[in-house]
Amino acid sequence: MTETLTALEVCCCGNCAASGHQKQTIRPLTAAEITQREADAAAAATRKAEEDAAATAKAAAKASANAKLKALGLSDTEIAAL
């Protein structure tokens, strides 16, 4: 079974009944909208991977710095105060 991607369009004119059109319309996505949706999802996944890598690198750098300070004889309290 294939999934049909849809868009919900909501009119904000405030006068739908008098204008003779629907307040809400559900329609299938166009090929261009599907392509854009896939590109946005790929970009978000790439951005998340980059953010995760940066957070991991930052944590590793902090651990390394703390170890070097510890090797210089600083206590955990002194390191935390920095």
- What mean pLDDT value characterizes the chain? 93
Which tokens belong to 27? 């329609």
Whole-angstrom distance, CA of residue 9 vs CA of residue 29: 11
What's the mean pLDDT in 10-35?
89
Contacts of 78 (CB under 8 A, 6+ apart): 69
Strands (E) across 11-68 are located at 24-28
pLDDT at 30: 96
C-alpha 5/C-alpha 38 separation (Å) is 12
Cβ count within 10 A of residue 66? 15
- Predicted confidence (pLDDT) at residue 75 exceeds the cutoff of 70: yes
- pTM for the full predicted model: 0.65
